[in-house]
Structure 1
Amino acid sequence: MPYRPKGTRYWHYDFQVRGRRFHGSCGTEDYEEAKAVEAGARVEARNAPEVTGHFSVSQALGTYWTDICQHQPSARTARSQGKMILTVLDGIKPMSDLTNSELMRYVASRRATVANATVNRELQMLGRALRHMEKIHGAAMPKIDLKAVQTAEPEERVRELSPAEQKRMFKHLRPDLAPFVTFALLTGARLSTITELRWSDIDHDNRRMTFRLKGGGKMKYPISQEIADLLVTLPRSDLPTHSRYVFTFEVQNRKDQRRKIVPNGGGIMEDFRSAMAAAEIEDFRFHDLRHTFATRLLRHTGNLKLVSRLLGHSKVETTARYAHVLDGDLAHALDSLSLMGVSRRKSRSGRKKEY
């Protein structure tokens, strides 16, 4: 029944439906009218998604972004993916009614304009949202097979920066972006990880720093001497909201002001691409700095597991794409051993002898 709290002349309602509390003002001083308002609120509550477990596709994506995505470095990407999904799928449709045929229609529509990998990332985001709604909010899951509707992707290319290209790149980079790019080459960290790095994440005493990873995880990363030398040279922003971040850039026409580098914001990536064009470096993206780090380290150590850990991969199989850099070592190993029982070695004079 409606009640009137102290200090207000309006009646209020406060009740529970299936363990969930609903409360608010009836917006009236008339008791009989307040009872009618409460009755209407009870009807709405019994049909509320959080009670019935029946959420629309739009509600599922929005709730998942609010609960999880907005707190991650990839928040912008998740928001964009959610909006793109709703341009094809019916947002008011109950998520439990989604079918494979609708997902196939989505795939066909999106493949006309974007790469297969992009479509698959969007479907994976949808899948995470649906599973979150089932696990946290008790939503009913649709009978769909997201893996079955995903499209085949070409094996991810590995683009390595050559020493000559690297020299030209730094020649054409904006000076305030050079440390940012250098750090990417020294660590292999993703763009979002670097932009979210804070001074509080740096532990100089123990030579460790904390990286925020894709998907919301964290990892401890060792600080090499090269990284330590770079960090001590970095200028800090005077702006309170930006000073806590490690990497900042000079605001154009305001050289005295530095702001946090934002992925896909502030024209930073446009400036990076312009530098690549000026340096005549073709088919090279910022993410390829990560590929360059991985291939160089693997070539130097020959240790795939070590490289996998530094890249933050949960499975070493994900790192296997870089294994091609070891092909030369494999060939050398075969050349040094005869599988037919005859070893070919070089004599001191440099001539080959058979044994």
Structure 2
Amino acid sequence: MSVYKPAKSRFWQYDFQHKGRRFHGSTGVEGKRDAEAVERRIRIQAAKGELDDASRMTLDVAVSKWWDEKGSTLKGGERLEARLARMIALVGPNTPLSEITTEAVGRAIQKRRGQTLTKSKAKGAKAYLPSNSTVNRDMIDTLRPVLNRARKAWGAKLPVIDWAELRMAEPKPKPKEFAGDELALVLAEVQPHWHDMIHFAARYGCRLSELFFSLDDLDVSAPENARVKLRNRKGGDDHTIPLLPDDAAMLAARLGRARKAEIGTVWFREKASKVRGRPPRVVALTYNGAAIALRRAMERSGLKASKGMRGAHDLRHHSAMQMLRATGNLRVAQKLLGHADIKSTLVYAHAVEADVRAGLAALSRNSPEPTEAESGKDAAEQPAKGKSSGAS
């Protein structure tokens, strides 16, 4: 059997050829014997021609194909592999794609809801049920991209699934923004080589993964018309944002150095050479490094304890809130963030509305109605003024 386990993966992979066609991908299982069973089943399907019709393809084969074509290129590969394995086990690895209906997905979701999880603590493990957000992510957000690709790229004719009906209610996020010198507190807790990236994220609202855009997707040839295209985004669509001249100049300088150093991102740091006399080396910054640096900065600055700020995504919230306050225009904020549906942007409008309510309440407290004594005094003085006016 031709199964193997990559060094950076928990799961075994399969790789074989049938009639000149190559079949390869993740088995979604951690044991070699189970992986060989998966590969054996895929070989049988290939021999029967079942893999030529995408709608007859079983879920485990479809996920393997999706992983090879798309999933392996996405961020957080190991976590995504684990979610795919959970989803396959709950829906059923041998389930043909044509039999995955709204009802079938609903049953799998109910199974996921009932699975007890454990969280390790200093005094022992605590059992708990997964949150609605976790269930949605593990089931809907993991299965839906696979079925979408089967339909759009592989030509499969599949049942229509009511994803909105299946999605469980999640608590609305509470956007946070930096006030006063709070962003400076964060910058003080990270190394200077992170500063440009943090300022950029706080201004343009990019997700952390989107900050690591391709060098070829950055256009700074004309500062007055500079822009960057963000790919591999949540939802799968591309999004282009315009750049201010100062930021375009900063990125143009970084772009030149990145190309010279042959690295794939404009975000880098200089590292002193071990050889005396040689100039510093340019070393690319990484997604994981940025996530860790910002998470620690939120903790050390006290913003996690005081405002619940946890990391990079708070920069996106800050950008959205600032744009909405400056323009009062939801459509502009939607365009900046790249939301396909303006409903996703409305959460920021609700946050601003809450501030307005708080302001009105404070205004009411600071401007009380006149007391009865003051009202009586005003009434007594009014006729006197009128009488005096008439005498003159």
Q: TM-score, normalised by structure 1?
A: 0.69
Counting only pairs closer than 5 Å after superposition, residues 202-351 of structure 1 correspond to structure 2 as 202-205=219-222, 206-212=225-231, 213-232=233-252, 234=254, 236-237=257-258, 241-242=262-263, 244-249=264-269, 256-263=280-287, 265=288, 267-282=289-304, 283-284=308-309, 285-323=311-349, 324-326=351-353
For 2:215, the equivalent position in structure 1 comes to: 198
Q: Distance in 2 between matches of 1:70 and 1:245?
A: 19
Change (3 A) 1:286 1:211: same
CA distance in 1, matches of 2:182, 2:358: 27
More displaced 10-residue stretch of structure 1: 185-194 or 110-119: 110-119
Q: For residues 90 and 251 of structure 1, what CA distance do their matches in structure 2 show?
A: 50
Q: Percent identity?
A: 23
Q: Cα RMSD between the aligned structures?
A: 3.8
CA distance 1:84–1:260, change in 2 (3 Å): farther
What is the one-letter code of the residue matched to 1:269?
A
Counterpart selection for 1:121 from 123, 132, 137: 137
Question: Judging changes above 3 Å, is the alpha-carbon distance between structure 1 residues 146 and 298 closer, same or farther for their aligned structure 2 residues?
Answer: closer
SS at match of 2:241: strand
How much has 1:49 moved relative to structure 2? 2.3
- Contact kept? 1:96, 1:143, Cα under 8 Å: no
Corresponding residue to 2:52 among 50, 53, 56: 50
Show the counterpart of 2:173: 156
1:38 alignment partner in structure 2: none
1:262 Cα offset (Å): 3.3
1:185 and 2:187 matched: no
Give distance in 2, aligned partners of 1:168 and 1:42.
60
Residues 1:104 and 2:110 are matched in the alignment: yes
> Deviation at 1:137?
3.1
Any unmatched runs of 5+ in structure 2?
1-17, 22-42, 118-127, 361-392
CA change 1:50–1:231 in 2 (3 A) is same
CA deviation vs aligned residue, 1:187-229 (integer Å, no higher than 9, x gap): 1111111012425522240222222233332233111134235
Name the structure with the higher helix share: 2
* Residue equivalent to 1:11: none
- Determine if contact 2:114/2:129 at 8 Å carries over to the other structure: no
Shift of 1:326: 4.8
Aligned residue type for 1:108: G
Equivalent position SS for 2:175 = coil
Letter of the aligned partner of 1:82 in structure 2?
Answer: L
Give 1:23's aligned amino acid. Answer: K
Could you say which residue in structure 2 is the equivalent of 1:132? Answer: 149
Q: Which 5+ residue runs of structure 1 have no aligned equivalent?
A: 1-21, 26-40, 334-355
Local SS of the residue matching 2:322: helix
Give the AA of the match of 1:119: V
> How far has the Cα of 1:302 moved from its partner?
0.9
For the residues of structure 1 that align with 2:346 and 2:269, how far apart are their CA atoms? 35
Is the CA contact (8 Å cut-off) linking 1:191 and 1:286 kept in structure 2?
A: yes
- Aligned mates of 1:130, 1:193 — CA distance in 2: 24
Offset at 1:57?
Answer: 1.7
Per-residue CA distance 1:131-172 (angstroms, 9 max, x = gap) = 322444354646865444432100112111222321211111
Residues paired across the two proteins, number: 297
1:233-288 CA distances to partner (integer Å, 9 max, x unpaired)?
5483478652x42112457998944443333x3x4322222222221111212101
Contact 1:73 1:196 in 2 (8 A): no
Conservation of the 8 A alpha-carbon contact between 2:151 and 2:157: yes
Q: Distance in 1 between matches of 2:133 and 2:44?
A: 46
User: Take 2:271 and 2:52, find their aligned partners in 1: how far apart are those partners?
Assistant: 46
- The whole-number CA distance in structure 2 between the counterparts of 1:150 and 1:287 is 23
Q: 1:221 to 1:238 in 2, by over 3 A?
A: closer
Hey, what's the Cα distance between the residues in 2 that align with 1:214 and 1:149?
19
Per the alignment, residue 19 of structure 2 pairs with 23
Does the CA-based 8 Å contact 1:237-1:259 persist in structure 2? no
C-alpha distance in 2 between matches for 1:248 and 1:120 = 35
1:53 and 1:147 mapped to 2: Cα distance? 23
Output aligned runs, 1:165-184, within 5 Å: 165-184=182-201
State the alpha-carbon separation in 2 of the partners of residues 52 and 127 from structure 1: 15
